[in-house]
Chain A
Amino acid sequence: MEEKDRKKHHKKHSGPKADKKRKRHLNDLGLGEDEDARKRNPKAFAVQSAVRMARTFHRTQDLKTKKHHIPVVDRTPLEPPPVVVVVVGPPKVGKSTLIKCLIRNFTRQKLIEIRGPITIVSGKRRRLTIIECGCDINTMIDLAKVADLVLMLIDASFGFEMETFEFLNICQVHGFPKIMGVLTHLDSFKNNKQLKKTKKRLKHRFWTEVYQGAKLFYLSGMVHGEYQKQEIHNLGRFISVMKFRPLTWQTSHPYVLADRMEDLTNPEDIRVNPKCDRKVSLYGYLRGAYLKNRSQIHMPGVGDFTVSDVSFLPDPCALPEQQKKRSLNEKEKLIYAPLSGVGGVVYDKDAVYIDLGGSHAHQDEEEEVRPNHELVQSLISTHSTIDVKMASSKVSLFMDSKPLGSEELENQESVMPKEEKQIDVKTGRVRRKALFEGEDDDGATDEEDGQGEEMSDDETEESDGGDGDEEESGEVPGEELGLRSAKQLKREETNEEMAVELPAFADSDDDLELSSGEEGETGLDGSKKEAEDDEDEEESDENESSYCDSESSNRRISKFTHCETGREYKRQRENHNLDGSSGKKVVSATDSGNCTADETSESEAEGSSLEEEESSDSDSEVEGSDRKGIQSASEKNVDGVEEEDGDVENLLKEEEEYGEENDFSSDTAGALKWKEDLTQKAAEAFLRQQQSAPNLRKLVYGTVVEDADEEDDADEELGGLFHVSRPDKESKQKANALDCSKFPVETLQDWDLDEVMNSIQDCFVTGKWEADKDAAKLLEEDDELYGDFEDLETGVVHRGKPSVEGDEAGSEGEEEDKEGKELKAVEEEEEKKRKDKKRKLKEMFDAEYDGDATYFDDLKGEMQKQAQLNRAEFEDQDDESRVQYEGFRPGMYVRIEVENIPCEFVLNFDPHYPVILGGLGNSEGNVGYVQLRLKKHRWYKKILKTRDPIIFSLGWRRFQTIPVYYIEDHNGRHRLLKYSPQHLHCGAAFWGPITPQGTGFLAIQSVSGTMPDFRIAATGVVLDLDKSVTVVKKLKLTGFPFKIYKNTSFIKGMFNSPLEVAKFEGAAIRTVSGIRGQIKKALRKPEGAFRATFEDKLLMSDIVFMRTWYPVSIPTFYNPVTSLLKPAGEKDTWTGMKTTGQLRHELGIRLKQNKDSLYKPIVRERKHFNKLHIPKALQKALPFKNKPKNHEKKAKPTKDQWRPAVIREPHEKKISALLTALGTVHSYKIKKAKLKHRQQLKDYLKRKQKEEEEKFKRQKEAKKKLFRIMGQKEKKRQKSSLKGAGEREK
């Protein structure tokens, strides 16, 4: 039935498709008409002109090479950081909506508010960090520098706006990231044609700005306040497959787009001085290049800082681990945006914070707790520094550093249900995003520790009410209370320990291990109890949380044990320990006051902790289908294994250490000890000719533990007050020793002995060679390679050495008695041989046929090799040691501690503004003179004035400085310009941060507010960096002659002293009238007068001048734009130094003009020239025609020649008047007649021409007719004749 309905397929017989098919068919048959023009018509392609041939060849070659880019080493890490997607556009264009839609598209989660960067997993190999860019030019500049992809939203109903173009220009200057246009508001067009037109217009404009064929996306309309799903999906696909070109600046500098900020300042300091500089930790993915610890960074909008500590954290938004064919499952579609309050797990250096709450199960509980929270919240909002205390006290707190007001809480409550519902529908999972309750929980508990006694009531309440805390707090509170006072006393100390904590974690994990082990126990206990209490689904979750909490509290306490007051706690701990012996050891370890413990205890603890972890693993696995639980557990597991690895390594190392030395790790207090006899050891080592291999690194760099540990050793404290600085005798001696790079031989070996001589025998070409390089061996191999082959032409079979055959035969013979293993070995060997052979043949083939490898190819190959090496070199090492060698590699999630940050940064923190940490290269933190090539932007309305302060965006920085514009003369002189030229490049020099040459920059007049016009004033590139600069301006010194001899004159008034004259002896001078001269020597009498010679005699009225060049000093003014320090809401109002023009305008001061420089009408006196007098002698010598002629003076006309005036009579006057009138009339008439006649003539000619044409036409027609007839006749005749002939033939 259906088949009948279906149309039968008709083959196409015409149209392009059919043509193509036919052609292909013909080609297949070899009958193609255009098989090969060269073959068909070889002559046409013969070389006509060798010159032209050469030219065409050159041209093609040129075109080919033009396409090449200089190959660069590919330094993208194996696991790249998330791609930064910046969404830009003017206000109300739909940026936030787009981001929300995209996130929903990728993660199936709905965000309510977008604050700061949002990281999501978009695919198996790609993550995205999406950030919204406001219209503040500061933000635009900062984000353009870190963007990988820009989504440029354009309101199609409105057209392009200035912001769009400004952003494009900013991008252009700072290396062009990928830009994708997105047209929105397309539904406002009612007329389809209009829509099409607009699209086309916008597209073409966009193309001219970006590049031809730049991708432009159309979002046609909104459905329920969101863009259409399919369109967003497509956009997402485009984003996730996009490829990126490396940008020079980005690949050569490390940078972090911070997605989390925490204040770590000592709360006591803040209490004493609320405006004290802060210590802040910032989190984010590291991008660009390797980041070294203690390197300099710049935070745009804040300033330059030195990184005080870097550590890497587990990836909060990791890519799926194993590669599968399928797409991502829900578990892998992660989202991480702490500033927006999303993202479940937050890692810190030594703790994991898990964001709880938001699930149904907790709702009633939460409601009970709420008033309590509000109280706490209000406290938080009043003392904004409370989070600082939380951070310093190391209790888990939620990431959102901005204190939430109670009204905010209300708001969130109102939106909450929606969110929750959505999640319930989806998975019914506990894990959730923006959770303020859980956060409050944590925050509250944290706070107690920070706050002190007065909060203890709250604390107990809290611990009763809190879900995970209870066991821990039940155990601890007594101790905690006891400890609190001590803690307050020793806060500084603990703080310092915080700083030192990284190495402890990094290397000697014993402390951590122990504590974590215990944590495991307590956590387990807790979980078991929990299990008894309630058999809820969330049980495992709580286990998790309790785990975390207990960990943190445990940590807290273990820290206290460093103080002597923590004795009771130790007892407590012992009780809690399951393993008595290990517990004992723990005590001893803590007693020593240092983190390191015995190896044995370490390993034991290790084992126990591992067990614990495993058990907890299994527990959680059994109990929960909870995603989070599994995840974190697995992470733990991994951690544990890693740590173990590290331990094993340590152990090995320590064992290998010089046998006679006792264990270093055991004498923990005297960690300096090894350092003291370091040099001695070194000497020993060298005397023994470097036998101790694995210790070399230790010898050079000290322990594997980073220098932080050394520092710890160095500033050992006495009673927490005094630093013990022991002068290192050895090092002192070393400093005083002769610094010489020579490596003297201390004990010369006896080179007369044969054995000694033989020991270096193979270093010479005369010695034995390696197998792969020995010429004889190579020859042999070649023989093998060419061993058997059959000459196909003659059919002769050449045989090589029968070694292989013999082998085969042997193997055949021995097959029975030999075992399969050996056979396998033989096979493998053969396989290897075969492969080798194959490879060699291939190489030879390649060499023969791909022989024309160009320089470019070689270079590319080299780079590729380097890239491979870079990747492979440290791959096998664990991150801890790798970080030491390479620095932190891009792609890692890092935590960066920065000190001395102005308090305004923390107080006025606004997550809507991006916080960027841009790493600075070597000496980029210095200041000096920077020379630029600058061009005023063609759209900027004004020209720029020298010494007007202007804001540059250069490198990572935005800063205000005072540039000086100059132009380079032909002789290389830099001449000052008062204003930048209109449509010309000029030089600019300013005093500011040194930035590598070739870096682009842009200049703007002000970053505050919005201006109606285009804001980018100038763009350009850095040319040169120096510590001095040579811009000069012209200075003319004038003088006057006071005595004139022939060509010599005495000039005064140019200088003030003979010394000055002496400096300018020999200088060229000139008079205004153009007579050139030279300064000779100073005169004695009038001070500063001198003798000068000229090419001609001067006049006393001449003015003599000398052109000199005076160096211009460039104002040393550098003022970073600190826009991030401004209060929230005023961040775009930064104003720096004002220009004099602005100041004058504001203060109403009018410019007083120099009267001399005003233009006045030039009044020139008439010049009288005397008669030219020619001397008689000269007259005589002149030729006749030039001789003045002695004309006789004409006599006055005589009376008869002189005609008297005629005076007419009135009558005569009348007559003559009439006659003139008549004459006028007549002449007018004649004129008129002439005109008429001319017209007539014109007409006549026209007519005539027309007639002529017609006639010609007629004639032509007639001729045509005639010829046609004649032609026909002729044809007929011919035909007849042909016919006749034919007939005749027939």
Chain B
Amino acid sequence: MALWPPRSRDFRAGEGQDSVPACAPRPPEPLIYDYGIELACQKQKEFVKNSVECKWSLAEAQQKLGSLALHNSESLDQEHAKAQTDASELREREEEWRQKEEALIQRETHNLWNPDSVSKDVFNKSFINQNKIQETEDEDKSKSFMQKHEQKVRHFDFEASFIRLIDKVTNGSRIEINQTGTTLYYQPGLLYGGVLEHDCSPHRSIGYYLESLLCLAPFMKHPLKIVLRGVTNDQVDPSVDVLKATALPLLKKFGIDGDSFELKITRRGMPPKGGGEVIFACPIRKALRPIQFTDPGKIKRIRGTAYSVRVSPQIANRIVDSARSILNKFIPDIYIYTDHMKGASSGKSPGFGLSLTAETTNGTFLSAELASNPQGQGTAVLPEDLGLNCAKLLLEEIYRGGCVDSTNQSLVLLLMTLGQQDVSKVLLGPLSPYTIEFLRHLRSFFQIMFKIETQPTHEELKGGEKVLMTCVGMGFSNLSKTIK
């Protein structure tokens, strides 16, 4: 979306090696207008030839009208009236065409003739109410409004993208958003899966979308293989690296495993523009195994990734050094990969960051991460500071402890809830506010209540208090999976 005011150039002025040119300033008014039309066209995919043609002819007529006005000024009024009627007629015709087109589309979707192949397009996929799009269409009116409420619109944007994603992975779900965008009606369909692509909004990182996909993917009809594009690492959401390092092994504990279970980062994209790409593939399961995961074990190694895109490759090394300086006091087995992406795989914005993972003897993964401030926001961050802080965050996470790190608490609780009608147990660190809210949701949705027991620390030097969560699964089974 180009509606945001151009970013200032002084992005990370503190760093000498920042050679990436900031986006060029553009004349605001006309560009935005053009962009708006383009955007409308782009968004309205069903808008095809006829209506466009009509528009052109309308424009032509208007032009003619203009020229007429220039040429013969005496019969100006007459001609003007004529042209106006012409224009209105054209408008009518356009409307008519549109109607026809719509009818045609409808008919097409209803009776799909397809020669000698099983039609797969009969899914009654839902659509997001057009009205909302029209709202963005007549932009010139609400331009100032948009500028005023940039943050809120942003807020809405990634949610819209999320809804689209949900629409993509499901079949038969109905989603309706009212004109003002304040209410959402969602009627769930069946999880369908398959091979998909999705452009995530750059306002939230891919992790935001991936988190929900991790919950849903094992219960699809067809194994999910999705390409997600957008921001891979940011400061808000759990990054793809962390999810790959912690969430995937966690899912494996529940019996979701196999060759096709992977999360691959093909491109890295940093905020604000993104441009990263992630491939997530997950097999399907009929039911989940219950887990008894009460002993986290001891941390045997620490791994991590220091990444840098569109900045000097030296930055990653600086991060690694500083992080190691702290962690080496605890354990010698540390390896932090430096991941410098170049060219197309480096996304559209510069940035760097570090994600650390501590692995225990019992297969617990605790992680921490930190990313640089996005270009043009906040002050510049020194890679050394970032490394140090991230290492400290990891130590904090270790202090919190538990068998699952704080990011994945809700995921593990959900999967426990969705298990067979058996007792599952997991030891967690302190519950995050998000998890607490999530637990309430679990109760209201599934009528599942967890037994929450606090485990006091007995003079051992093993960090803070832990919480033992116990529940009986609800006996969920994958209703989408086909049996042959």
Chain A residues in contact with chain B, CB under 8 A?
Answer: 73, 75, 252, 289-290, 292-295, 682, 686, 689-691, 693-694, 696-697, 699-701, 707, 734, 738-743, 745, 748-749, 751, 757-769, 866, 869-870, 873-874, 884-887, 921-924, 928, 971-974, 994, 996-998, 1023-1030, 1032, 1035, 1059, 1063-1064, 1067-1068, 1106-1111
Contacts and interface: CB of A to CB of B under 8 A. Distances in A.
Interface stretch (B249-257, B277-285, B305-313, B461-469): B461-469
A2 B450 CA distance: 77
Interface string B447-484: 11111101010001111110100111011110111111
A766 B330 contact: yes
B300 interface: yes
A686 B433 contact: yes
A999 to B, nearest CB: 10
B463 A759 contact: yes
A758 B118 contact: no
B462 A1023 contact: no
Interface stretch (B64-72, B76-84, B90-98, B109-117): B109-117
Nearest to B159: A739
B75 interface: no
B114 A1108 contact: yes
Contact of A870 (B395, B422, B436): B422
Contact of B236 (A697, A740, A1111): A740
A766 B331 contact: yes
B454 A1023 contact: no
Contacts of B122: 1028-1030, 1111
Contacts of A741: 211, 237-238, 407-411, 432, 434-435
A1035 B331 contact: no
A765 B434 contact: no
B338 to A, nearest CB: 23
B119 A1109 contact: yes
B430 interface: yes
B190 A928 contact: yes
Given A870-B422, A885-B471, 9 more contacts: A690-B430, A742-B238, A762-B462, A763-B463, A765-B361, A923-B479, A996-B477, A997-B482, A1107-B115
Contacts of A1107: 115-116
B221 interface: yes
B290 interface: yes
Given A700-B439, A1106-B115, A252 B396 contact: no
Contact of B475 (A289, A767, A1063): A289
B261 interface: no
Interface in B219-266: 221, 236-238
Contacts of A886: 472
Contacts of B292: 869
Contact of A686 (B104, B399, B430, B484): B430
25 contacts: A75-B421, A290-B421, A290-B472, A292-B448, A293-B447, A682-B433, A693-B465, A696-B452, A700-B439, A740-B236, A741-B237, A741-B435, A743-B435, A745-B393, A748-B396, A759-B461, A760-B401, A761-B461, A767-B298, A922-B479, A928-B172, A1026-B172, A1035-B113, A1110-B113, A1111-B119
B113 A742 contact: no
Interface of B: 104, 111-120, 122-124, 171-173, 189-190, 208, 211, 221, 236-238, 290, 292, 296, 298-300, 326, 329-332, 361, 389, 391-393, 395-396, 398-401, 406-411, 420-423, 425, 430-437, 439-440, 443, 446-452, 454, 456, 460-465, 467, 470-472, 474-477, 479-484
A1118 to B, nearest CB: 16
Given A739-B434, A763-B299, A1035-B113, A1023 B483 contact: yes
A873 B423 contact: yes
Q: Which of A75, A748, A1023, A1109: most chain B CB closer than 10 A?
A: A1109
Given A700-B452, A1106-B115, A1109-B114, A767 B437 contact: no
Contacts of B119: 1030, 1032, 1109, 1111
A764 B330 contact: yes
A734 B481 CA distance: 36
Given A869-B423, A887-B472, A760 B399 contact: yes
If over half of A's interface residues share one DSSP class (helix, strand or loop), that class is named, otherwise mixed; here it is loop
Query: Sorted from nearest, which 9 A-B pairs have the closest CB atoms?
Result: A1027-B172, A693-B454, A743-B432, A743-B406, A292-B447, A1067-B115, A762-B461, A1024-B482, A690-B430
Contacts of B463: 759-760, 763
A188 B144 CA distance: 98
A582 to B, nearest CB: 35
Nearest to A745: B396
B112 A1111 contact: yes
Q: Which of B208, B395, B410, B423: most chain A CB closer than 10 A?
A: B423
Contact of B454 (A694, A923, A1035, A1110): A694
Contact of B472 (A885, A924, A1111): A885
Nearest to A251: B421
Contact of A689 (B420, B464, B475): B464
B480 A1025 contact: yes
Contacts of B238: 741-742
Contacts of B464: 689-690
Contact of B116 (A699, A700, A1028, A1109): A1109
Nearest to B466: A690
B445 to A, nearest CB: 9
B118 A973 contact: yes
Given A759-B399, A997-B483, A1109-B114, A701 B433 contact: no
Given A295-B447, A686-B433, A921-B475, A1027 B123 contact: yes
Contacts of B408: 741
B462 A763 contact: yes
A690 B452 CA distance: 13
A246 to B, nearest CB: 12
B447 A294 contact: yes
Contact of A751 (B221, B395, B470): B395
Nearest to B454: A693
B115 A764 contact: no
A707 B443 CA distance: 10
Given A686-B433, A689-B430, A741-B432, A763 B298 contact: yes
Nearest to A766: B331
Contacts of A694: 454
Contacts of A740: 208, 236-237, 434
A1030 B439 contact: no
Contacts of B104: 1059
A1067 B430 CA distance: 63
B442 to A, nearest CB: 10
Contact of B460 (A289, A690, A738, A762): A762
A768 B298 CA distance: 10
B118 A974 contact: yes
Contact of A693 (B189, B399, B456, B470): B456
B467 to A, nearest CB: 7
A1194 B114 CA distance: 66
B360 to A, nearest CB: 8
B471 to A, nearest CB: 7
B115 A1024 contact: no
Contact of A922 (B430, B437, B454, B474): B474
Contacts of B409: 741, 743
A696 B480 contact: no
A175 B44 CA distance: 53
A765 B435 CA distance: 29
A1110 B400 CA distance: 60
A412 B409 CA distance: 64
A763 B395 CA distance: 10
Contacts of A1023: 482-484
A874 B423 CA distance: 9
A994 B481 CA distance: 13
Contacts of B115: 1064, 1067-1068, 1106-1109
Nearest to B456: A693
B473 to A, nearest CB: 10
